[in-house]
Structure 1
């Protein structure tokens, strides 16, 4: 037993079992001790690999960057999988062989060229939805505090992510993310009002009032309101000296509010080009906030590059040759050498747009370097023209009780006889009127906004008052408004030659007869218009006077006379949705008896543009057969309440008026009509449908009258 206990094998059995150490942390073999050192020191200080051996193992280096790589050394024969490493006790321990395995044969696919990138499918793979569609939505409510006192509640609600979610979310994390976004929104809104110390917090919690819902809370704290401590403008010299500062409506003490600051800078950009500086540019503002001072203030600085002070030079043009320079120079309302004003440049562009001959047109100031008056620099205006279609088709339709159905169609070539010489062919097809006409029109004839018109027409009218075949030749010079270019003062004057064959009741013979009349007239009109819209006015007034000296041949001889008409309309906006409109009109014919006057030239009352509720031309004297014969005077009054909601409207109305045999209208024997209308508002004007009834109905008058047309009644 004693001998057995001293044997090495017995000693190993008495030691705890230890697995052989492997890997990078395994103990390395002890190096042989150097002379004069103890074994412990040799093991502790000896390098794993001597420097000389490490240096000799390095491959030779070269300074040639393009030199080929050195070949790998031949692989040594593979050692056995394990080899014994002597242990301090003299026993061998098996360790794994860490040498590399031999490189196998090269994969043929690795030698193939790479596939071109263009052949890859770049469409991303469809990913499956992670959200369970059947999972219930989380409901939440929103509570915002601190913004109501600043008047930001409505703006916050319109931009809020929580509000946009409609109180539903996929999970609580999504609610928290929306709340964080709204937290930043609240801070931005408060900053925009000048509260630059503003803070906001957001949190979500279970709603105690409804355990099935979350509550998202946004708490805003505005802090101090910052005001301007100084306003500094950095700009070159101007005329007058304080021009830029004067056009910057900011003063010390104003709150540093984003809308106020931006509006003031926009005013500088708008006004400087109107004061002779077409190339002015507003730079980036700088506001230095003094957040550590007792007063919440900020110093404001604005750089402005005014550019040269300029005056108008000449017109130049590029692009499609719609107009040459001779005709383009008809449009400006300024003269060469006049101080530059961007409003006059815009006016020129609007006038060119109003011709309807351009797909696109622009007017741009161009620097020339030429000296102008008063030390200015002349700038030329470059007009870029893009030709548009010159031909157009148009149509209009209407219906009214007494006048029946009336349809009008026209074909127009607006530049058949350049410049702006238009040819218009029109046709009227109705139940009680038919006709054709041809019109030559020269717009901007020799001067801006003046129009020359020549018309030849043939027409047949069949109404209760008369049946007429009429031919007309007329010329007219006018200064008119258009839907694009509405003018305050308009006029026209011209000449007419009319030949007409009409049925007329001869009171001497007691029967209807046909007579032929030849009429020469010099009609004219002036109008002053302050309304805000040509087809749908909501404020302002209009005054109009017509005068037409005429002479007639037929029905007993040559008779000169004069036809006059005066009319006034007024529009008052009670609110954005309600407009009160009123009209008064009176006409008179002097110098001729009624029976010697062609029936088509007399005055009548009744109809959609007169006293609604009564038939067309059925107000005034009648013949024994009950047909209207017209008169030499007329008066009319109308009152409407135009209420609009969205694109629709309701218009109750009251009309009054009559026509008289006398040459002056009377205030007695007025006929009243009342009704209600509907409106559908379009971008080219309102569509009108009116239903009316006569209030003091006469024998033969209908109970209901219907009117359908485009545009308001007046």
Structure 2
């Protein structure tokens, strides 16, 4: 320590002496003082003459490959005592140690010879870690976050939804974590500003303490947008098209538009969407290039587009595990060979195949052929990739209606039992008032897409207030139907029915019920015009439906007649969540007396699909009061009179369907009745009102309606409940 102090003193003294006695060498360099008068002749002379300097240099060899020469030993100008001592120590260390001259070992430490402490004397309490003391010693960090400068751009809400500071919910382990979240939000603010064309935008986050709050911070993200860049020239780099400006026309951008990310991306997506609909199935949109000019605030935009060949439809091909052969596959397309390519029709083909329910997977893709057609387009074939799926399924459903009771149905379906698409469907129904079985053969897409041929054989027992019947039916039907994938404006159906039924009927001649057997041959037909926007849950448009069925009843004699029914429904959207729906239905039976009709072929009112609030089939003519047996406790009230049905019907309904999310509330009012005459009248209408709940699913709404009759008759229920799938109409 003393030596170091002395050394410092010597150095300081030497420096002081030099300060007091300046050197005589003149200063050199650009900052050296000048002698304006030139009074000192040695002022600009070098410290060492050039000749003396050159002579001091060692001679250099001309051979660049020669080995380096050793540096000659030279005596130092000055050598301190400490340098000499260091050199002597190094020389001594370099001398080898002679044998027998090893230094003696130091004496052993007496502490090492002491015995070890017993384990019981040790303190076994674990040391506290940082984690153990964190909650006790470190205060909780609470912070508030704020963003400035984004509100004029309309970006505040989007920023808040993505903010790392907001995601932390105002809590952090320490201030460093808050600062890190602030830096993330700086980058977020810059990205959002660039998405609107503010490419010069900057953002900075600051963390400040909140006075008076322990551990309270305020994180502020301040954004400065700068100027907004707008589109300058717009260039599309693409092959020639038909029409020539097709790509530019389908790119909805114009000079002067802000360079907003969403606007630009949507315009480019429109090109990818529209060109395949106009004959270019293989279009590829490249990466855009935008050259910004900060002086003008404009960005010149260039978009490369590979349109590929203009194409027309060719033929279908197939690969994979075939469910359908090419003959049946050609039933589905809605395009003809040689027609200009439109990928919407390709997508429609894919959806129609998926709707059959026979595929685990199905792909439909255009395949280039290289064949150039006379109109200059290239033929593209459509490759259908098939993966077979399960053809068998089980399904079931349960419903309840006042007056009809509980009904449970189940079906087993083999959708491809008779290929192609020949389904065998076995069904059973079990309920409190009906039981039965059925077997159905159904061929879908029979020679034409969406045309269905159906044959049904069924046996059913029904026990209602209106009648009790044992019925066997054999029927056939050809229909052109709407589907959830392709809803059609015009649909139709026609067919036949052979019905044999044994039913209880009120015999006016005997003033009592009896059983009769009827044979019925019917040729039912139906036509429907539909402008609604949805098959299962319409919200706008209207539907018109006409049913006409020429029939012959055989019960002792042949009696031909005709059953007719007309129905109109309309849907008006008041708002996105409220739809007003209305229905009018009227029907009549002509050419036969009511009492010659089988009770099951007559018209009845009341129930979940008619006038809610009244029992199933309870509206209309009833048995005469004279049929009551005096003294019979079961039949001495008017409420025990049974309906006998009529030859005409009218119904009116209006609903207000209010939906919120997947749920809905539907207040409604219904009116109607059935009549003995062939034409309905407006007299003696029965009204019902109620409210319903809806739960909306992918396959349609679940419906629960509660209703009450407004002008009930004796025996009508005070409250009726209906549970089913689908809207009432």
Range of TM-score over shorter length: 0.7 to 0.9
2:342 is aligned to 341
Once residues 344 and 584 of structure 1 are traced to their aligned partners in structure 2, the CA distance between those partners, rounded to angstroms, is 37
1:628 equivalent in alignment to 2:643: yes
1:691 is aligned to 706
Once residues 504 and 100 of structure 1 are traced to their aligned partners in structure 2, the CA distance between those partners, rounded to angstroms, is 136
Assess, with a 3 A threshold, how the Cα gap between structure 1 residues 512 and 143 changes in structure 2: closer, same or farther: same
Equivalent residues of 2:140, 2:215 under 8 A apart = no
Assess, with a 3 A threshold, how the Cα gap between structure 1 residues 95 and 414 changes in structure 2: closer, same or farther: same
1:709 equivalent in alignment to 2:724: yes
Once residues 707 and 532 of structure 1 are traced to their aligned partners in structure 2, the CA distance between those partners, rounded to angstroms, is 26
Q: 3-state SS of the aligned residue for 2:417?
A: coil
1:351 equivalent in alignment to 2:347: no
Structure 1 residue 469 displacement after superposition: 0.6
Once residues 375 and 130 of structure 2 are traced to their aligned partners in structure 1, the CA distance between those partners, rounded to angstroms, is 74
Equivalent residues of 2:139, 2:215 under 8 A apart = no
- 2:269 pairs, out of 247, 266, 270, with 266
Shifted more, 136-145 versus 518-527: the winner is 136-145
Once residues 212 and 609 of structure 2 are traced to their aligned partners in structure 1, the CA distance between those partners, rounded to angstroms, is 63
Once residues 428 and 647 of structure 2 are traced to their aligned partners in structure 1, the CA distance between those partners, rounded to angstroms, is 30
1:163 equivalent in alignment to 2:166: yes
1:97 equivalent in alignment to 2:93: yes
1:220 is aligned to 223
1:203 equivalent in alignment to 2:168: no
Q: 3-state SS of the aligned residue for 1:132?
A: helix
Equivalent residues of 1:87, 1:93 under 8 A apart = no
Equivalent residues of 1:395, 1:407 under 8 A apart = yes
Assess, with a 3 A threshold, how the Cα gap between structure 1 residues 705 and 234 changes in structure 2: closer, same or farther: same
Q: 3-state SS of the aligned residue for 2:380?
A: strand
Q: 3-state SS of the aligned residue for 2:165?
A: helix
1:235 is aligned to 238
2:602 is aligned to 602
Assess, with a 3 A threshold, how the Cα gap between structure 1 residues 327 and 178 changes in structure 2: closer, same or farther: same
Once residues 304 and 287 of structure 1 are traced to their aligned partners in structure 2, the CA distance between those partners, rounded to angstroms, is 15
Tell me, which stretches of 5 or more residues in structure 2 are unaligned?
8-56, 60-66, 72-80, 98-128, 629-640
Assess, with a 3 A threshold, how the Cα gap between structure 1 residues 317 and 128 changes in structure 2: closer, same or farther: farther
Equivalent residues of 1:550, 1:560 under 8 A apart = yes
Equivalent residues of 1:179, 1:203 under 8 A apart = yes
1:678 is aligned to 693
CA RMSD of aligned residues (A): 2.8
Q: 3-state SS of the aligned residue for 1:347?
A: helix
1:278 equivalent in alignment to 2:274: no
1:114 is aligned to none
Equivalent residues of 1:579, 1:641 under 8 A apart = yes
Structure 1 residue 532 displacement after superposition: 2.7
Once residues 95 and 449 of structure 1 are traced to their aligned partners in structure 2, the CA distance between those partners, rounded to angstroms, is 108
Assess, with a 3 A threshold, how the Cα gap between structure 1 residues 137 and 509 changes in structure 2: closer, same or farther: same
1:543 is aligned to 544
Structure 1 residue 684 displacement after superposition: 2.1
Give matches, 1:95-494, under 5 Å: 97-98=93-94, 132=134, 135-208=138-211, 212-293=215-296, 296-494=297-495
Assess, with a 3 A threshold, how the Cα gap between structure 1 residues 181 and 499 changes in structure 2: closer, same or farther: same
Once residues 93 and 196 of structure 1 are traced to their aligned partners in structure 2, the CA distance between those partners, rounded to angstroms, is 69
Once residues 617 and 93 of structure 1 are traced to their aligned partners in structure 2, the CA distance between those partners, rounded to angstroms, is 124
Give matches, 1:489-638, under 5 Å: 489-554=490-555, 556-624=556-624, 626-638=641-653
Q: Deviations over 1:74-114 (max 9, x none)?
A: xxxxxxxxxxx99989x97685525899xxxxxxxxxxxxx
Q: Deviations over 1:135-194 (max 9, x none)?
A: 543111121222222222221111111111111111111111111111211111111112
Shifted more, 558-567 versus 610-619: the winner is 558-567
Structure 1 residue 600 displacement after superposition: 0.5
Q: Deviations over 1:19-40 (max 9, x none)?
A: xxxxxxxxxxxxxxxxxxxxxx
Assess, with a 3 A threshold, how the Cα gap between structure 1 residues 373 and 393 changes in structure 2: closer, same or farther: farther
Tell me, which stretches of 5 or more residues in structure 1 are unaligned?
1-15, 19-43, 56-84, 102-126
Assess, with a 3 A threshold, how the Cα gap between structure 1 residues 562 and 203 changes in structure 2: closer, same or farther: same
Structure 1 residue 299 displacement after superposition: 1.1
Return the TM-score normalized by structure 2.
0.80
Once residues 268 and 338 of structure 1 are traced to their aligned partners in structure 2, the CA distance between those partners, rounded to angstroms, is 21
Assess, with a 3 A threshold, how the Cα gap between structure 1 residues 428 and 99 changes in structure 2: closer, same or farther: farther
Once residues 521 and 339 of structure 1 are traced to their aligned partners in structure 2, the CA distance between those partners, rounded to angstroms, is 46
Assess, with a 3 A threshold, how the Cα gap between structure 1 residues 341 and 88 changes in structure 2: closer, same or farther: closer
Once residues 217 and 538 of structure 1 are traced to their aligned partners in structure 2, the CA distance between those partners, rounded to angstroms, is 47
Assess, with a 3 A threshold, how the Cα gap between structure 1 residues 147 and 605 changes in structure 2: closer, same or farther: same
Structure 1 residue 645 displacement after superposition: 2.3
Once residues 670 and 86 of structure 1 are traced to their aligned partners in structure 2, the CA distance between those partners, rounded to angstroms, is 128
Q: Deviations over 1:346-374 (max 9, x none)?
A: 11111101111001101010110112241
Once residues 54 and 489 of structure 1 are traced to their aligned partners in structure 2, the CA distance between those partners, rounded to angstroms, is 110
Shifted more, 677-686 versus 596-605: the winner is 677-686
Structure 1 residue 219 displacement after superposition: 1.7
2:32 is aligned to none
1:641 equivalent in alignment to 2:656: yes
Equivalent residues of 1:315, 1:325 under 8 A apart = yes
Once residues 552 and 523 of structure 1 are traced to their aligned partners in structure 2, the CA distance between those partners, rounded to angstroms, is 14
Structure 1 residue 247 displacement after superposition: 0.9
2:121 is aligned to none
Once residues 619 and 427 of structure 1 are traced to their aligned partners in structure 2, the CA distance between those partners, rounded to angstroms, is 29
Q: 3-state SS of the aligned residue for 2:287?
A: coil
Structure 1 residue 577 displacement after superposition: 2.4
